Amino acid sequence: MIPRVTATVDLAALRHNVRVVRQVAPRSRIMAAVKADAYGHGAVPVARALEAEGVGALAVACMEEAMQLREAHLSTTPITLLEGVISIEEAALAVYERLQVVVHDHWQIALLEQLPASAEIHVWFKLDSGMHRLGFPLTDVPRLVETLKRHPAWTFQGWITHLACADEPDNAATPRQIAAYSQALQGVAGPRSIANSAGLLAWPEARVDWVRPGLMLYGASPLPGKLGSDLGLKPVLTLQSRLIAIREYDANEAIGYGQTWRTPERMPIGVVAVGYADGVHRCLPSGTPVIVRGSRVPLVGRVSMDMITVDLRTVPQAAVGDAVTLWGAALPAEEVAGYANTLAYELFCGLTQRVRFRYIGG
Ligand SMILES: Cc1ncc(COP(=O)(O)O)c(C=O)c1O
């Protein structure tokens, strides 16, 4: 059976991108973000490739994601729960599974304190240096240091903070956050971790003990106006489907739901077997490019659940069965995301279970 929609994930490109992180931040250890099913790329195969490449830790959002990796026998590289635990059961499981937990609030300390005093738990403290989402206020640092002293069985992993505007190279909020964080930790022991992809690419002072790249590992740029290739990254995922029909229409015929687009002349329209139920956003407008036989052609009319329609005037040789690329090396996801007024993050995470995944370069 020929798969309808295929995501080809190039693990060699993923490993290449890890090496780019190492070049940019040679003195930092890498905590690779594999949350959200490795940004839609498939958590288990991606985590295995990252482990083989020797990253220092894998970051997931929550216990379910950590357990998916453990159940696939990923046991060598530390796994960090970025949102920490939410119940005593999860705290006990984190100890049993040797997971590292990010602790961002006093209620989580209270949870961990319900564990036996001898429980060996690996703890990061998250500090709010200005993002104002998760984290202890910086003024809590002395109190947190005292907490650690009270719990000799806890292994302290370090101090995490997160940047709100790292993707804006001229935004003074980032140096303010880094300065406030560094000041609060002056003279305080423990590894530091500040930067996501944008942070480590754009802000040298954020390349501290640990960096936490996500998006750039998958080959996309987090920096506006730059593509992954501008940063030496290789796109990891290529999304492809096929032409399942080609029809010739007279001028002024309306195409698809809502009749939002009309043929300007007699012309061929291709129907591609991919739609929003696969992860191609419905808001992508007419004009969004796809690739047929090596040429960019525009999507026309509305994206429907299972299909899109494309203008084939510039590719008269196109035939039913031809591969159609929605994004990949020749058509960066960042660029396609721009048409949907979103970011590559959301395109990646939006791929659905109907897409068939294929891994190469492993
Ligand atoms: C705390 C934390 N660190 C690191 C990352 C990785 O970010 P990025 O994919 O922008 O590199 C994320 C992602 O949202 C995060 O929440």
The residues pairing with 243 across neighbouring beta strands, listed in sequence order, are: 272
- Kindly give, in sequence order, each residue whose CB lies less than 8 Å from that of residue 259, ignoring residues fewer than 6 positions away: none
**What pLDDT does 248 receive?**
98
35 φ/ψ angles, rounded to the nearest 5 degrees = -65, 170
Ligand 1 atom nearest residue 213's Cα = 11
221 lines ligand 1 (CB under 6 A): no
**What pLDDT does 245 receive?**
98
The pick from 82, 193, 231 for probing ligand 1's pocket by mutation, whose C-beta has the most ligand atoms within 8 angstroms, reads 82
Give pLDDT tens digits for 82-110: 999 999 999 999 999 999 999 999 999 99
Domains of the chain with CATH codes: 11-220 (3.20.20.10), 237-360 (2.40.37.10)
Hey, CA dihedral for 73, 77, 83, 89, is it positive or negative? positive
Q: Separation of 82 CA from ligand 1 center, angstroms?
A: 9
Distance (Å, whole) CA 93 – CA 13: 34
Ligand 1 atom nearest residue 33's Cα = 6
Q: Separation of 14 CA from ligand 1 center, angstroms?
A: 17
The pick from 17, 177, 196, 207 for probing ligand 1's pocket by mutation, whose C-beta has the most ligand atoms within 8 angstroms, reads 196
Q: Tell me the pLDDT band of 120, cut-offs 50, 70 and 90.
A: very high
The percent of the chain in helix, strand and coil, each rounded to the nearest 5, is 30, 25, 45
80 lines ligand 1 (CB under 6 A): no
328 lines ligand 1 (CB under 6 A): no
Mean pLDDT is lowest, of 1-5, 139-143, 290-294, for: 1-5
Residue with CA at minimum distance from ligand 1 atom 15: 196
- Kindly give, in sequence order, each residue whose CB lies less than 8 Å from that of residue 93, ignoring residues fewer than 6 positions away: 63, 67, 85, 99
The pick from 24, 162, 181, 200 for probing ligand 1's pocket by mutation, whose C-beta has the most ligand atoms within 8 angstroms, reads 162
Residue with CA at minimum distance from ligand 1 atom 6: 214
Ligand 1 atom nearest residue 160's Cα = 1
Q: Tell me the pLDDT band of 3, cut-offs 50, 70 and 90.
A: confident
**What pLDDT does 1 receive?**
77
Residue with CA at minimum distance from ligand 1 atom 13: 214
Q: Separation of 125 CA from ligand 1 center, angstroms?
A: 16
Q: Separation of 155 CA from ligand 1 center, angstroms?
A: 23
First and final C-alpha spacing in the chain: 23
Active site residues: 35, 257
Residue spans of beta strands (DSSP E) within the chain: 6-10, 29-33, 57-60, 79-81, 100-103, 122-128, 136-137, 155-160, 192-193, 210-211, 237-249, 254-255, 261-262, 267-272, 289-292, 295-300, 308-311, 323-327, 356-360
Contact between residue 266 and residue 310 where contact means Cβ atoms under 8 Å apart: no
Give pLDDT tens digits for 317-351: 999 999 999 999 999 999 999 999 999 999 999 99
Q: What is the mean pLDDT of the chain?
A: 97
What does the pLDDT average to over 121-131? 98
Enumerate helices (H) and strands (E) in the chain, giving the number of each.
11, 19
What does the pLDDT average to over 237-266? 98
33 lines ligand 1 (CB under 6 A): yes
197 lines ligand 1 (CB under 6 A): yes
Dihedral of the alpha carbons of 126, 128, 130, 134, in degrees to the nearest 10 = 80
